[in-house]
Amino acid sequence: MPDISTFQYQLVYNLFSFTFATMFAAFIFFVLSRSQIAPQYRSALIMSALVVAVAGYHYFRIFESWAGAYTLNADGTGYTATGLPFNDAYRYIDWLLTVPLLIAELIYVINPKNRGKMTFTLATAAALMVILGYPGEVASDNGTRALWGFLSTIPFAYILYQLFTGLGDAMKEQSAEVAVLIKNTRLLLFATWGFYPIVYMLPFLTSGLDANSMVAVQVGYCIADVAAKAGYGLMIYAIAAKKSAAAGYVAA
């Protein structure tokens, strides 16, 4: 762990706190909003709640790990590594649990006829994507990072292909308003998931994972996680609400 400035430490510390609070607030919203959605679409909202709950827990652990990894210098000008490891593996455990659920949310709210088969296939690809990315994340050299990053991109590309082509028939069955929401949700998924590889490759801008690239990676992952989990969940809720209204569902 490289020594960092006070600004760098506080920036990451505050973003971890913000992300945890966002996940906690999103969990409360999804739980309380469940009754506003028709029963056939509630599974998607339950998965949204699970995603942010799991993410919130892991961000709390990441937050604690970051605080333990650094101590303020005696002169107050910066932070020095304590020697305790910063456990970034929490993030990959989180992704391993939540990324397949993100896929399942969209499929269940669109409700294609073969949702069981598609959910299993894409969720497996999502888990494989995360597993293949981890060895590169913890690698000490950019060559190893690039190799595992490339391998992780293969299931990532397959998922995007299926989301933008495999759901074509189901999209035709949606109303115009719902179709627009689904298209925007897929674009949000593409934008946020596409942001992860960019953050993943930030160490290539330097000779390795120095202070600047380490801070940039943590900031980038926080931003991406807020959009890909809480923001994405709100889009799923909007789709479910529109489809519920179209089906004539009225909340009690």
Alpha-carbon distance of 14 to 163, in angstroms, equals 34
Q: What is the pLDDT of residues 101-127, one digit of tens each?
A: 888 888 888 764 567 777 888 888 888
Give the up-direction half-sphere exposure of residue 63: CA atoms within 13 A in the CB hemisphere.
Answer: 16
Check residue 129 and give its pLDDT.
Answer: 87
Domain count, the chain: 1
How does pLDDT run across 15-28, given as a tens digit for each residue? Answer: 999 999 999 999 99
Answer with the residue of higher pLDDT: 36 or 1.
36
Provide the residue type at 40 as one letter: Q
d(CA 81, CA 65): 12
Residue 231 lies in a domain: yes
In a domain, 166, yes or no: yes
The Cα 82–Cα 172 span in angstroms is 57
251 occurs within a structural domain: no
Confidence of residue 12 (pLDDT cuts 50, 70, 90): very high
Q: Which residue has 């933008």 as its token pair? A: 164
Q: Is 244 helix (H, G, I), strand (E, B) or coil?
A: helix
Task: Report if residue 184 sits inside a domain.
Answer: yes
Residues facing residue 81 across a β-bridge: 70
* pLDDT given for residue 122 in this prediction: 84
Domain that holds residue 165: 4-246
Q: What is the pLDDT of residues 190-230, one digit of tens each?
A: 888 777 777 777 666 655 567 887 888 889 889 989 998 99
Residue 252 included in any domain: no
Helix, strand, coil share of the chain (percent; to 5): 80, 5, 15
Examine the pLDDT at 141 and tell me if it is beyond 80.
no
* 28-82: pLDDT as tens digits: 999 999 888 888 888 889 999 999 999 999 999 999 999 999 999 888 789 998 9
Closest-CA residue to 53 (of 45, 68, 65): 45
84, 69 in Cβ contact below 8 A?
yes
Structure-token pair, residue 197: 């590889």
pTM: 0.85
* 49-86 burial: b if 16+ Cβ within 10 Å, else e: bbbbbbbbbbbbbbbebbeebbeeeeeeebbeeeeeeb
Q: Quickly tell me which residue has 């101590």 as its tokens.
A: 71
pLDDT at 252 over 70: no
Q: Is residue 98 part of a domain?
A: yes
140, exposed or middle or buried, with CB in 10 Å at 0-12, 13-18, 19+?
exposed
Contact between residue 155 and residue 129 where contact means Cβ atoms under 8 Å apart: yes
Q: 237 lies in a domain?
A: yes
CATH, residue 242: 1.20.1070.10
